[in-house]
Amino acid sequence: MSEQANWDVVIVGGGIVGAATLYKMQARFPDLRILLLEKEKALADHQTGHNSGVIHSGIYYKPGSYKARNCVTGRRELVAFAKEHGVKHDVCGKLIVATDKDELPRLEKIYNTGIANGIEGMERVTPEQIREIEPFCEGIAGVRVGCTGIIDFRGATEKMASIATSRQPNSRVSLGEEFLGADQTGQHTVVRTSKGTYTARYVVFCGGLQSDRLARKDGAQVKEQIVGFRGDYYDLTDQGKHKVKHLIYPVPDPRFPFLGVHFTRMTDGSIECGPNAVFTFKREGYGKTDFDLKDTMDALSYGGTWKLFFNNMSYGINEYRRAFSKRLFLRTLQRLIPSLTMDDLKPGRAGVRAMLLGTDGNMVDDFRIETRGRHIHVLNAPSPAATAALAIGEEIVGMAVEQLKIA
């Protein structure tokens, strides 16, 4: 290992939150020399590049929460960014559709949450209006959210990093370089990586699926633990893709921390169906049988994981059954589009979501960002973090100014 140049800021993690932090910090402080480290060979190679590509409106999140504020602000800024810089996107709107009377109170609550969060472009829709918007979709009531859209999140991530490094030629993105540890000494931090050693005035950790491990490597005390959930998708075949025009979501069940299987038109014109949500035996594993001993031992030796399993036993079993049964997956999709057939579906990709899990077995619902000395840790940034990334980046810069006295 060789001693490398000094940096004002080192950012660990090259997903969209890390890139947005680089972009925002370089805009605020154009003279700072910033190094972004990413262990993979490309930016956005995990959660950012494997999510559903949806620009979320902010309609689901508790009013006043980090998620609600940052999603709404971040969404508007992301759309403006995409327009200005030519990132592929489409604000096409989505439908949230109730198919059962028991869902109507929940649908109304979602609508009222949207009003509280200042979501623009919402309207209640009747069964007839649902069919006008999505001719193959059947429901008893719905809410159309006009400001929801789709975007190329990989492209957005790369553009943010590119703009930042063009603004300050002495800043740099280093790919294929893994963070190993950091030691705060005096007014500087020594950052150790797989390729060398750096000194930095400040360090920001945006580690996504590895955020708890990065925090512990940095000496932070984190009681909770990241647990990964794989989400499998199917794609509509050429004969089935005409049955979905935009985005169609079910009314989510509040007992579970996910939005349910939905339909998404992607920026390339394909239609994805999913995802389900199953415990994964490898944090960065996208295959149904992927396994990593350390990841599995870490998860299964943590009491919160077992409490989560016991509290959601029937849900978890159903999700696993669907993961290995195309017919069961289809049956779930047919609640929204009854005419779908087995021939309309083909296996698609998968993603893994990082959820910070408390010792009580409950998901930490809101974003969590904390400081440790001159370091900032993004400990929990689940969906809608990609949509909210520019707002999260702004929050991080604000913390760096106010708490770390960066200048």
Long-range contacts of 63-67 (CB under 8 A, 24+ apart): 63/113, 63/116, 63/117, 65/365, 65/366, 66/366, 66/367, 66/368, 66/395, 67/365, 67/366, 67/367, 67/384, 67/388
Give the CA angle between residues 272, 281, 275 to the nearest 5°.
15
Whole-number mean pLDDT of the chain?
94
| Over residues 214-227, mean pLDDT | 92
Architecture (CATH level 2) of domain 3-48+154-223+365-402: 3-Layer(bba) Sandwich (3.50)
Residue-wise over 272-298: b if at least 16 C-beta within 10 A, else e?
bbbbbbbbbbbbbbbeeebebeebeeb
* 1 pLDDT above the threshold of 80: no
Residue-wise over 340-379: b if at least 16 C-beta within 10 A, else e?
beeebbeebebbbbbbbbeeebebebbbbbbbbebbbbbb
Predicted local distance difference test score (pLDDT) of residue 35: 98
**Percent of residues, the chain, with pLDDT higher than 90:** 85
Predicted local distance difference test score (pLDDT) of residue 277: 85
More confident residue, 142 or 311: 142
pTM of the model: 0.95
Predicted local distance difference test score (pLDDT) of residue 324: 82
pLDDT band (50, 70, 90) for residue 4: low
* 259 pLDDT above the threshold of 80: no
Predicted local distance difference test score (pLDDT) of residue 129: 98
pLDDT band (50, 70, 90) for residue 257: low
Give the CA angle between residues 109, 114, 120 to the nearest 5°.
150
| Over residues 322-350, mean pLDDT | 93
Predicted local distance difference test score (pLDDT) of residue 42: 98
pLDDT digit string, tens, across residues 40-98:
999 999 999 999 899 999 999 999 999 999 999 999 999 999 999 999 999 999 999 99
Terminal-to-terminal C-alpha distance of the chain? 30
Predicted local distance difference test score (pLDDT) of residue 366: 93
Predicted local distance difference test score (pLDDT) of residue 312: 82
**Least confident range of 97-101, 127-131, 258-262:** 258-262
More confident residue, 320 or 149: 149
pLDDT digit string, tens, across residues 172-197:
999 999 999 999 988 899 999 999 99
pLDDT digit string, tens, across residues 270-310:
999 988 888 899 999 999 899 999 999 999 999 999 998 88
Long-range contacts of 165-169 (CB under 8 A, 24+ apart): 165/26, 167/26, 167/27, 167/30, 168/26, 168/30, 168/31, 168/32, 168/33, 168/34
* 261 pLDDT above the threshold of 60: yes
Return the structure tokens found at 40.
């993979």
Per-domain boundaries in the chain: 3-48+154-223+365-402, 225-233+272-363
pLDDT digit string, tens, across residues 369-392:
999 999 999 999 999 999 999 999
